[in-house]
């Protein structure tokens, strides 16, 4: 089972690949929209990749609540 650091690192890799943001920039406290400049379309792509990578399902209403990278890490850690 992955720990939170490993989840964060995998998310950072996905964000870098999808949005072209340097993985080092992707830290727990960052907001996807305000800090990493990821808009709604990119967010959908990232969500799909995260779902596949971690074999989780993120319903639309929950994905809107995942505002920071840390929110996403916590959601996946709890889900698993």
Name the site residues for another protein (rule: CB under 8 A). Answer: 17-18, 20, 41, 44-49
Burial of 16 (0-12, 13-18, 19+ CB in 10 A): middle
- Determine which one of 39, 61, 71, 78 is catalytic: 39
| Nearer Cβ to another protein (4/37) | 37
Nearest distance from residue 46's CB to another protein, in Å?
8
Residue 28 CA to its chain's centroid (Å): 10
Active site residue 39: yes
**What tokens were used for 79?**
């889900």
Q: Which residues are catalytic?
A: 39
């Amino acid at each position: 089972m992955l720990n939170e650091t490993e989840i964060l690192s995998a998310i950072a890799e996905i964000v870098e690949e999808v949005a072209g943001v340097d993985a080092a920039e992707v830290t727990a406290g960052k907001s996807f929209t305000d800090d990493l400049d990821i808009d709604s379309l990119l967010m959908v792509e990232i969500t799909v990749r995260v779902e596949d990578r971690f074999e989780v399902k993120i319903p639309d209403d929950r994905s809107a609540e995942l505002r920071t990278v840390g929110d996403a890490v916590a959601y996946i850690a709890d889900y698993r």
